[in-house]
Chains A and B, each alone.
Chain A
């Protein structure tokens, strides 16, 4: 074994062979660490080196990688994040899903940057890590339990200070959009990574770590942190909007501009927006604000439903959930949305996909394409009780839940109307209509995991005006901006830092952090190059997996049906005006294939 000489990284990964039941330490590949950092980049590098692109996501040959970044577990911005990398059962693309909390940091304090799971356990199992000791133990007694119950049981039987990531019943039931939940309420939510974990008979990962993260230049690192703190505090989004109201601050903002998708994207303003806004949440069910470990923003919302017609407590809903289980379903009942959010966290499900899949079912019912008998109940837009019930049925795969568990595309396809699925590459849209905001539309069409806002958050320049204001309806320059956002995001996702910091800090700050932490040299240019390398690596994997460039598109509704109401009435997504320029900007062929020349420049061939 070669040695790992850099600081920042722990320099060690844990390889868990679920079939054989073994846990083995490996030195992290130092060259790859410099080229791909950690998290999404390094995890995907290991994944693509070790797994064939045509692998069946639920087979033992698929692997599941949990990867922190070299900054995870340190202060400076909001450095409590990790990524989960695998092949997605929902999209068939590379899946990498992000979450924050305490678990990612604890993994680092135990001395690991990454855990690679391979094979499949013979019976339900979970992984215990206590510093340098790791072992697989039986989890038959945890199978069938919610994420909350699972976590409580592991705390009682393993270590009271352990931090835990686990799946609920949805992951066990292979619901195609099952999530991995850590610290009870935080979700690595999208693309069905929890189902891959369930397919491996892996219930949880519990970590207790008492070691530290070493920093190459502590004085410079501290300076970089103070610099970044000042920028984050002074910024209107990270210093004001997010701490005050959390992500739900966006409900009123996006609704007022006329881009809040409502009734499965049939409308773009929602009459009930005020009732489900961040302001409404703050005056009803909000208990307090919460941050992930090392966070200076604190966007988390701890809530409880006492005094409503539902019970329970937890965290959320976030903006995306207020859209998916709210406006997308025409539901303006904040208590019902919050309850459905709790169910998602306890069963371990992506709130965006389940909400938009229910919205799709509502439209199928509206159009008479699915009957009341098939659903087992009457279903129409605005029916809050049915929405809550269907969320639970999806987690259990019970009755119509069996259909919902497929995700909106496969469900709509089974009723002969795939065009009613509001998705790209089978991943459902988040809460911004790409017809009203052109750049985010381009990002949805080209994102490596399907319609995802956190792969290139063009809302920042197009709506929030950061780092500068762009006209949301214009198509000029959107290709250039989208590429920059996508590449930079890939670097952020690979460092262990929360994307929300990027409202205030950019490539220069990340270069400072990474240089001071690791002792290797990073510049603004290398920060962007690393992101581009990661983006192209993911693209190449997707192409090999059979997800061809013809899927870089948007549903017919966005391309051809103009927005029907509100300030943006009449707008459609002008993808055709942006896509060729985007391919050119990326240095890809006109067909959207990365050229050998560009791949060579990036060190990918």
Chain B
């Protein structure tokens, strides 16, 4: 089963530690502008939204790449850029509807989340509130279903009394 970074916005405190951790691991510097995960803070609405690559099943970036530099690895399901093949044409940047693959001028290549190559992603390791977790893709769904089951169960107990 494919693993993905699960994001629970209600737990986020807007600290951007994910951006710090991601950029530090992949560039050696604390440089949020180079992060592959984005923690957007809306001060007025008090909303903190985190987004990153969802490792699409049928990725636009893979289809768009004229050099076959991007592939979806199996069985991990992670969408990976082969830097040796990438020529920095940015076609994938235009193709991704989510803005989750970006061109890095200093590299002359594109860059995106690769779930840290199989380890615990660095953003997940450093997230202070467990807003970010690495989970098999259907786990969240099952947890939601179980919460619903619990609610129903509680309700029946009430009725019996």
Contacts and interface: CB of A to CB of B under 8 A. Distances in A.
Interface residues of B, number: 26
A212 B128 contact: no
Given A212-B30, A212-B34, A215-B30, A290 B126 contact: no
Nearest to A222: B24
Given A75-B30, A211-B31, A218-B28, A102 B20 contact: no
B23 A296 contact: no
A292 B27 CA distance: 23
A285 to B, nearest CB: 12
Contacts of A298: 13, 15, 128-129
A443 B126 CA distance: 36
Interface in A252-283: none
B17 to A, nearest CB: 5
29 contacts: A73-B30, A74-B20, A74-B30, A75-B17, A75-B21, A75-B126, A80-B15, A105-B32, A109-B31, A184-B43, A210-B33, A212-B23, A212-B27, A212-B31, A218-B28, A222-B24, A229-B128, A288-B10, A290-B14, A290-B46, A291-B128, A293-B16, A293-B20, A294-B16, A295-B15, A295-B17, A296-B128, A297-B128, A298-B13
B138 interface: no
Contact of A215 (B24, B33, B126, B128): B24
A557 interface: no
A365 B46 CA distance: 40
Contacts of B46: 287-288, 290, 302, 304, 313
Interface string A176-206: 0000000111000000000000000000000
B121 to A, nearest CB: 14
Nearest to B43: A184
Contacts of A184: 43-44
Q: Which 8 pairs, one residue from A and one from B, show the smallest C-beta to C-beta distance? A: A212-B31, A212-B29, A291-B15, A210-B33, A298-B13, A291-B13, A296-B128, A213-B30
B28 A75 contact: no
B96 interface: no
Interface of B: 10, 13-17, 20-21, 23-24, 27-34, 41, 43-44, 46, 48, 126, 128-129
Contacts, number: 88
Contacts of A295: 13, 15, 17, 128
A100 B147 CA distance: 38
A75 B29 contact: no
Contacts of B10: 288
Residue from A222, A233, A291, A300 whose CB has the most chain B CB atoms within 10 Å: A291
A289 interface: yes
Interface of A: 73-75, 80, 102, 105, 109, 183-185, 209-215, 218, 222, 225, 229, 233, 287-298, 300, 302, 304, 313
A75 B24 contact: yes
Given A74-B30, A214-B29, A295-B13, 17 more contacts: A75-B20, A75-B30, A109-B31, A209-B33, A210-B33, A212-B30, A215-B24, A215-B30, A222-B24, A233-B128, A290-B14, A290-B48, A291-B14, A292-B15, A294-B16, A298-B15, A313-B46
Contacts of A288: 10, 13, 46
Contacts of B13: 288-291, 295, 298, 300
Nearest to A183: B43
B29 A213 contact: yes
Contact of A294 (B20, B33, B43, B48): B20
Contacts of B16: 102, 293-294
A215 B32 contact: no
Contacts of B24: 74-75, 215, 218, 222
A296 B17 contact: yes
A298 B10 CA distance: 13
Contacts of B20: 73-75, 293-294
A105 B32 CA distance: 10
Nearest to A298: B13
A213 B24 CA distance: 9
A6 B91 CA distance: 40
B12 to A, nearest CB: 9
Contacts of A289: 13
Contacts of A218: 24, 28
A162 to B, nearest CB: 13
Contacts of B41: 102
A212 B30 CA distance: 5
Nearest to B27: A212
B157 to A, nearest CB: 27
A495 to B, nearest CB: 15
A80 B13 CA distance: 14
Nearest to A80: B15
A294 B31 contact: no
B74 to A, nearest CB: 31
B16 to A, nearest CB: 5
Centre residue among B16, B17, B41 by max chain A CB count within 10 A? B17
Contacts of B48: 290
B123 to A, nearest CB: 11
B19 to A, nearest CB: 9
A184 B33 CA distance: 22
Contact of B43 (A185, A214, A293): A185
Nearest to B39: A293
A108 to B, nearest CB: 8
Nearest to A218: B28
B95 to A, nearest CB: 24
A294 B28 contact: no
